[in-house]
Amino acid sequence: MSKSLGDVLTIEELSLYIKISKSTLYKLVREGKIPCQKVGRHWRFKKDAIDSWLVESGPGKPTSGASKS
């Protein structure tokens, strides 16, 4: 990416930032497992919220909303 990431990311920018496919991101959004905000028809993601989410749901930790069995 030639431009730097801002404080708010689009689904495309987030896909590149955390290196997962857009389809996986849409699945996480549908399941309420990733912090996001819908603006009109588009999803937006606050970079600082995503960074915190990545730390909280780090290796071996279930993502929020996952069953704890």
Q: Give percent helix, percent strand, percent coil of the chain, each to the nearest 5.
A: 40, 15, 45
Report pTM. Answer: 0.74
Q: What is the pLDDT of residue 59?
A: 75
State how beta strands 8-9 and 42-46 pair: antiparallel
Q: How confident is the model at residue 44 (pLDDT cuts 50, 70, 90)?
A: very high
Segment 6-16, tens digit of pLDDT: 699 999 999 99
Which domains occur in the chain, in start order? 8-56 (1.10.10)
Would you call 51 helix, strand, or coil by DSSP? helix
